[in-house]
Structure 1
């Protein structure tokens, strides 16, 4: 279980996240919603330790993540994968190599530097690409792909880390409606098939309602809503979004979750 206790982050006197407390059971799909500047990205970055909290702590299965240093911190970042709005791929490298970068925490440093990937690592990476219907792009340079394809590559890279949790920071912000659905379906399949916990920052309330088991709403860094999508009424939405919230609709039910499958065993 992920436990966030009194998490706070201050930047030059400004409070970006203000005393947030949450408990997220394993296997959840949680949407973090709110306007731009509400503190959503800062919250996820503190969970991954890309940003350190000014106060509070993050616990995973009882272990204090905020105290980790060195190798233990690198191991945590391997177990807590990030998916970014900007994809964070190396454009000049081929797709398969970009995905294999997710295996860095599973190989020795010399082998990683020399890109001496084992047959097992390559099989795992190709299996992830096949899962998201982009295996035929393995040899293409990442910069030649569309935005939706690049984001699926980024999700495949996160999956091959064999994480316990995936933090998706506005993964659909730059995508058109078709690719939005494809990327959100990919995250939902990871959650459903492998039982991996997903925390996903989202602007679009209809998408959040359609895919997430639970919504966590931030406003000016403070937690103002925490509950199932059906409990987010018009008044609560207006508190989060102002006039935008009143127009938000539903996106239909998300797919049913199956029992967790073994992670990426090549066929």
Structure 2
């Protein structure tokens, strides 16, 4: 279980995250919602320790994440995969090499520098690409792919870390509606097939309602909602979105497409 105890992040006088406490069981798909600047990205970056908390604690299955340093911190970041809006692929490298980078924390540096990947590692990477419909693009340069394809490669790379937790920071913000659905389906697949806990920052309430088991709403860094998508009232939506609430509530709730998941391919 992931537990946040009074988590805070201050930038001078500005409180980006202000005393957030949450308990998230393994295997949940949690949507973190709210306007831009509400503290969503700061919250995820603290969980991964890309940003240092000003106060509070992060616990995962009894491990005090806020106390980790050095090698232990690197191990935590391998268990806690980040997916960003901008993909962060190496454009000049082929897709398979980008996915194999998800194993960097597990192999000696000389092996990664000279691309000395084992047959098992290559097989796992190809299986991850196949899982997200990208197997046919393994030999393509990453910068030749569309945005949606690049984001699916980023998810496959995250799966190579064998993570306990995926943190997705606005993963569909730069995508068209069709690719938005494809990428959200891929995250849902990682969650349901592998039982990986997913925290996904989303601006769109209809996407959050369609894909997430639970919604956590932030406004001005504070937790103002924590519950099932069906429990999000118009009053809470106004707290979260202000003048944008009418537009958000008028949008029909998105329906995640049902899937049947075979036995997991990636360890």
Alignment of 1:51-66 (within 5 A): 51-66=51-66
Cα distance in 1 for partners of 2:59, 2:158 equals 21
- From the superposition, tell whether residues 90 and 81 of structure 1 become closer, same or farther in structure 2 (CA, over 3 Å): same
Q: How far does residue 259 in structure 1 lie from its aligned partner after superposition?
A: 8.8
Aligned residues: 265
Distance 1:185 1:120, change over 3 A: same
Pairing 1:144–2:144 present: yes
Q: Report the alpha carbon displacement of residue 110 of structure 1 after superposing the two structures with TM.
A: 2.3
2:16 and 2:254 mapped to 1: Cα distance?
Answer: 32
How do 1:75-86 residues align onto structure 2 when only pairs under 5 Å count? 75-86=75-86
Give the Cα–Cα distance (whole angstroms) in 2 for the partners of residues 91 and 5 of structure 1. 39
Deviates more, 1:245-254 or 1:30-39: 245-254
Residue in 1 aligned with 2:87? Answer: 87
Paired position in structure 2 for 1:131: 131
TM-score under structure 2 length normalisation: 0.95
1:171 is the counterpart of 2:171: yes
| 1: CA distance, partners of 2:101 / 2:245 | 39
Partner of 2:31: 31
> Residue 115 of structure 2: SS of its match in structure 1?
coil
The structure-2 alpha-carbon separation of the partners of 1:106 and 1:263, relative to structure 1 and needing over 3 Å to count, comes to: farther
Q: Aligned-residue CA RMSD in angstroms?
A: 1.6
* Counterparts of 1:255 and 1:178, CA distance in 2: 13
Q: Deviations over 1:129-150 (max 9, x none)?
A: 1011111111111111110000
Structure 2 vs 1, CA of residues 82 and 72 (structure 1 numbering), >3 Å: closer, same or farther?
same
Q: Is the 8 A contact 1:32 1:202 kept in 2?
A: yes
Please tell me whether the aligned partners of residues 217 and 223 of structure 2 are also in contact (alpha carbons under 8 angstroms): yes
Query: Do 1:195 and 1:260's aligned partners in 2 also have CA atoms closer than 8 Å?
Result: no
Query: Distance between the aligned counterparts of 2:265 and 2:222, measured in 1?
Result: 35
Are the counterparts in 2 of residues 195 and 259 from structure 1 also a CA contact under 8 Å?
Answer: no
Structure 1 residue 251 corresponds to structure 2 residue 264: no
Q: Is the 8 A contact 2:127 2:265 kept in 1?
A: no
Q: Which digits, 9 at most, give the CA deviation of each residue in 1:98-144, with x for residues without a partner?
A: 00000112212221222211001100000011011111111111111
CA contact (8 A) 1:192 1:256 kept: no
Normalised by the length of structure 1, the TM-score is: 0.95
1:127 & 1:41 partners in 2: Cα distance?
A: 30
Task: State the 4+ residue runs in structure 1 displaced beyond 4 angstroms.
Answer: 255-263
Deviations 1:165-223 (A, max 9, x none): 00000000000000000000000011010000000000000000000000000000000
Runs (5+) with no aligned partner, structure 1:
none
* Aligned-residue offset at 1:247: 2.8
Quick check: 1:207–1:250 contact (8 Å CA) kept in 2? no
The structure-2 alpha-carbon separation of the partners of 1:259 and 1:140, relative to structure 1 and needing over 3 Å to count, comes to closer
Separation (CA, whole Å) in 1 of partners of 2:257 and 2:149: 22
